[in-house]
Structures are given as structure tokens and as C-alpha cells.
């Protein structure tokens, strides 16, 4: 069964450092999502791609976060510089199309010290 | 604005008990989707069900069943004869049915099933 892949699974960094997360969606899925999940809360959408284009980044803190999906397949989410409040689980999801069910990867747990 | 409320923060049951997880939602959209996802300790969100707002029929899948009531804006999830492997955090979510889906999640209900 096809799955969404994410790496790394865990990341510990110091504040003011740069971090990057990678996501490989299910093959053939045109829509890709990055969510942030703070401990004890539900995930919140950071950015959504349709192929290589950003269609919603209204909740992305653009002063420090960036996301790209250059070839419309895999994607990278970057934080620079990281802050203590960025400690969270970062989840990637993909769907065949914008109105299809989203399937999630295992997530990257980030701890900023 | 869309909102999902899961009032039960944590539920503890003993194996083989039935348990119902509550979900109440708010939306101004006439068409929308409702979802349930399971998040085991490993962290990934596992898709359980998607329900269109036009389809109010209850659904059963093995030990899982869902009760959708548009009149009360609720989409409750029942696990029959719970098992230890059901222990996880369960999230209810809502999205528009048209255009680019943005899932709005509740805060989740942690289910602990003890032997």
C-alpha cells in the first residue's frame, strides 16, 4: 500500500538554527499539504500545493517558514531561524486531487532547545 | 468560519466495552465533508472515514460505526467491543466540499483501552 514518506522522523535543534523537513507524497497525488500539530491540539494547515503551485499559505509564518515543491512531486518545508515555539509535529499529507481524501505521513517531531 | 468541537478530552474504558466519541461541528457551507482520523502513539494520522453532508445514512465498518445527524450538527463515532489496539487519539475534521480542501480539526479525544 502506497504511503506518504517523511524525513527525518525526529529533529532536535537549537533556536536560531535552520531546519528542513522533506515529504514524498503518494505517487500520482497532485495535492500536497503541510500541517503543524502542537502537543494536545489538532493539526493546522500551514501550506497547500496543487502540483508545484501554492494554493493556500495564509497560515504560514512567512518571515521564517518557506515551502517548495519544485517539480510538483516531493516537497521541502524550511524554518529559519527556528524558535522555541516551533516545537511541534510537522505532518505532510497528499491527495489525488483537491477534493479527494488526504492521507498523512508519519510526521517529523521537532524539538527546539 | 468552520469549527469542530470534541468536548471529550480523554476516555478510559475496559476492553470489550463499547465507547462513543462525540463530534460537533459548525459551518456555513451547504455542502461539506466530515472525517475521522486515528492517531496512534507512532504519530501518523490514519484515515477512517469521509462522509458527504448530503449522505446522512449511518455507516458501519466492522467494529466501527458512525452516526451523522445534520439536525444537531454531530458526527459521532462508536467503537463496539473495544480492544487495546484501539488506544489512540481520535480526531474529527471538517472541510468544504468544493475547491481546495482545508481540513479543520477538532482538538481530539484520547481513548485509553485497558485489558
Q: What is the pLDDT of residue B102?
A: 85
Confidence of residue A1 (pLDDT cuts 50, 70, 90): low
| Residue A81: cis peptide before it, omega within 30 degrees of 0 | yes
- Whose CA is closest to A108, among A23, A3, A2, A14? A23
Q: Is the pLDDT of residue B113 over 90?
A: yes
Distance of alpha carbon A52 from alpha carbon A45, whole angstroms: 17
pLDDT digits (tens, 9 = 90+) for A38-68: 999 999 999 999 999 999 999 999 999 999 9
What pLDDT band is residue B12 in, cutting at 50, 70 and 90? very high
Q: Which residues pair with B52 in a beta bridge?
A: B33
Instruction: Output the average pLDDT for chain A.
Output: 94
B37 touches chain A (CB under 8 A): yes
Q: How far is B101 from chain A (nearest CA, A)?
A: 6
Q: Do A107 and B106 touch (CB under 8 A)?
A: no
Size of interface A-B (CB pairs under 8 A): 60
Cα distance from B43 to chain A (closest Cα, Å)? 6
Q: Is B3 exposed, middle or buried (0-12, 13-18, 19+ CB in 10 A)?
A: exposed
Task: Report the pLDDT value the prediction gives residue A62, as an integer from 0 to 100.
Answer: 92
Note the pLDDT of residue B1.
Answer: 80
**Confidence class of residue B21 from pLDDT cuts 50, 70 and 90?**
very high
A43, A59, A103, A106: best mutation site toward chain B, by most B Cβ within 10 Å?
A: A43
Q: Write down the pLDDT at residue A44.
A: 95
Decide if B66 touches A, using CB distance below 8 A. Answer: no
Amino acid at each position: 500500500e502506497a504511503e506518504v514518506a517523511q524525513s527525518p522522523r525526529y529533529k532536535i535543534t537549537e533556536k536560531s538554527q535552520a531546519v528542513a523537513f522533506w515529504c514524498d507524497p503518494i505517487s500520482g497525488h497532485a495535492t500536497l499539504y503541510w500541517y503543524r500539530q502542537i502537543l494536545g491540539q489538532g493539526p493546522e494547515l500551514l501550506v497547500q500545493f496543487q502540483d508545484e503551485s501554492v494554493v493556500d499559505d495564509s497560515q504560514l509564518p512567512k518571515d521564517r517558514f518557506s515551502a517548495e515543491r519544485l517539480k510538483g512531486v516531493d516537497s521541502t518545508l524550511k524554518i529559519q531561524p527556528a524558535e522555541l515555539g516551533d516545537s511541534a509535529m510537522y505532518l505532510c499529507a497528499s491527495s489525488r486531487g483537491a477534493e479527494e481524501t488526504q492521507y498523512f505521513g508519519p510526521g517529523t517531531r521537532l524539538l527546539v532547545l | 468560519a468552520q469549527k469542530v468541537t470534541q468536548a471529550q478530552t480523554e476516555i478510559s474504558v475496559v476492553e470489550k466495552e463499547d465507547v462513543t466519541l462525540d463530534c460537533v461541528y459548525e459551518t456555513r457551507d451547504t455542502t461539506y465533508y466530515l472525517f475521522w482520523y486515528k492517531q496512534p502513539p507512532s504519530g501518523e494520522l490514519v484515515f477512517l472515514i469521509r462522509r458527504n453532508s448530503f449522505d446522512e445514512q449511518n455507516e458501519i465498518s466492522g467494529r466501527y460505526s458512525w452516526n451523522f445527524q445534520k439536525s444537531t450538527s454531530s458526527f459521532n463515532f462508536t467503537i463496539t467491543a473495544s480492544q487495546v489496539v484501539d488506544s489512540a487519539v481520535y480526531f474529527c475534521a471538517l472541510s468544504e466540499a468544493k475547491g481546495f480542501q482545508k481540513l479543520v480539526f477538532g482538538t481530539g479525544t484520547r481513548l485509553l483501552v485497558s485489558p
